[in-house]
Chain A
Amino acid sequence: QKEVEQNSGPLSVPEGAIASLNCTYSDRGSQSFFWYRQYSGKSPELIMFIYSNGDKEDGRFTAQLNKASQYVSLLIRDSQPSDSATYLCAVMVSDTGANSKLTFGKGITLSVRP
């Protein structure tokens, strides 16, 4: 059973709209949550991380975490064509020992239409 689930997508939004990307995870002990952006043929690039319940904003990006529901999301406001990429949700159980690896979802491909 996949431990991190993302809606398969693809997701298409018009330029200027809000894009909402969702992710659920199965391990209740997970402590840290990450969103990586990956352009086609490139490696993942860290764009947001969150570890406390609630919202965390950074520019046009907002990460939301609800540990009770085991749910993490990424909102992209004022979407731009340059935001078109695959967004990977990743979960870390803890930063110690065997639990510090990242477990990734499959990713969701976002397309922003000009």
Chain B
Amino acid sequence: DTGVSQDPRHKITKRGQNVTFRCDPISEHNRLYWYRQTLGQGPEFLTYFQNEAQLEKSRLLSDRFSAERPKGSFSTLEIQRTEQGDSAMYLCASSLVFPSGGLETQYFGPGTRLLVL
């Protein structure tokens, strides 16, 4: 399978616990995005990386959230001290962009569904 993969697919945790999600992008894609989607809403941007550099973070991303992409390949998203409001689908997307520009298309992974009790 050469698509975006995410792990785990489902996570149930108790309020106050820390959770970490992993995303493996499509091979050779240099950009990686994290989005969050709640029921009845479209995905909302959280943060993104170009190679290993984190280029933008949304105001939605509180201090309890941290993301890394240490070697420019896979990425992790950690949520510390989870709250019930963190319950959502966390989506990862990747894309390939060239220095010369051109249309960028993002491809999504299957998502990690988080439930905080």
Contact = CB atoms under 8 A, between A and B. Distances in A.
A9 to B, nearest CB: 11
Contact of B42 (A92, A96, A107): A107
Nearest to A101: B45
B25 interface: no
Contacts of B48: 100-101
A51 B103 contact: yes
A43 B55 contact: no
B43 A104 contact: yes
A90 interface: yes
A44 B35 CA distance: 11
Contacts of B103: 32, 49, 51, 95
Contact of A44 (B41, B102, B108): B108
Nearest to A102: B106
B31 interface: yes
Nearest to B33: A101
A106 B56 CA distance: 22
A98 B102 contact: no
Nearest to A41: B113
Contact of A97 (B55, B91, B93, B107): B55
Given A34-B105, A49-B103, A106 B40 contact: yes
Interface in A78-112: 88, 90, 92, 95-98, 100-107
Contact of A46 (B43, B91, B106): B106
Interface string B70-94: 0000000000000000000101010
A105 B42 contact: yes
A60 interface: no
Interface in A1-58: 4, 32, 34, 36, 42-46, 49, 51
Given A32-B103, A32-B104, A102-B43, 16 more contacts: A4-B42, A43-B108, A43-B111, A46-B106, A49-B103, A49-B105, A95-B102, A96-B101, A97-B56, A101-B48, A101-B56, A102-B35, A102-B106, A104-B42, A105-B42, A106-B42
